[in-house]
A and B are shown apart, each in its own frame.
Chain A
Amino acid sequence: DQQVKQNSPSLSVQEGRISILNCDYTNSMFDYFLWYKKYPAEGPTFLISISSIKDKNEDGRFTVFLNKSAKHLSLHIVPSQPGDSAVYFCAASAATQGGSEKLVFGKGTKLTVNP
């Protein structure tokens, strides 16, 4: 049973336009959400995160929106650039007593930004 779902395996957008990547989750205990970016032959790198007490977090061209009632989050990239072409993973974690949070990942969405 997949707790974090990215239902779009791929997305293609034109340079300068907005990219919107979506993510749904099922575990209501998740309280911290992250987006990672991954280029081929490299490890995932942290992009942006949001706590469940917020509904929006912005960092430059990247904004993450969280809708707790719908158990849905999205990553907006605007304007999109060719260098943004990568696989984007949504991840979530839940606070645990006495231990570190373990990230649960979605399957990823491959974003292609066309010049």
Chain B
Amino acid sequence: IAGITQAPTSQILAAGRRMTLRCTQDMRHNAMYWYRQDLGLGLRLIHYSNTAGTTGKGEVPDGYSVSRANTDDFPLTLASAVPSQTSVYFCASSPGGQNTEAFFGQGTRLTVV
């Protein structure tokens, strides 16, 4: 089934550890995004990529990094996790351009202890 796959589904991580959340799409979409969802705060954009080889900062980029080596993959890395990064992380992709919707993965629930 075409779509977006995120891994892992959930993770408990010790503070200070490094963690990479994986995201793969098979729709050949140009644009990809990482959002975090927190209670009462909705979905906030962390980083995005308009096309392979380019990335940009969203609303809450601090503590996170991304790379876009190819069209399909868009990993999100926490270099040194902190408890405030406990959240549900959603990867999304869109064809790009104007007036297009984004398609979301099923999410990764991350708990930093």
Residues of A within 8 A of B (CB): 6, 9, 31-32, 34, 36, 41-46, 49, 51, 89, 91, 95, 98-108
Contact (A46, B101) CB under 8 Å given A89-B42, A107-B42: yes
With A34-B101, A41-B106, A100-B48 given, name 12 new contacts (CB 8 A): A9-B40, A31-B98, A32-B98, A41-B107, A42-B106, A43-B4, A100-B96, A100-B100, A101-B97, A105-B35, A106-B42, A108-B42
Per the bound structure, the CA–CA distance linking A11 and B15 in Å amounts to 37
Residues of A within 8 A of B92 (CB): 43
Interface of A is mostly: loop
Q: How near does chain A come to B36, taking the closest CB pair, in angstroms?
A: 11
B64 close to A (CB within 8 Å)? no
Instruction: List B40-75 residues whose CB lies under 8 Å from chain A.
Output: 40-45, 48, 50, 56, 58
The answer to whether B98 touches A44 (Cβ under 8 A) is: no
Contact (A102, B99) CB under 8 Å given A44-B90, A107-B40: no
Interface centre among A9, A95, A101 (most CB of B within 10 A): A101
> Which 6 A-B pairs rank lowest in CB-CB distance, beginning with the nearest?
A43-B104, A100-B31, A107-B42, A105-B43, A100-B96, A46-B101
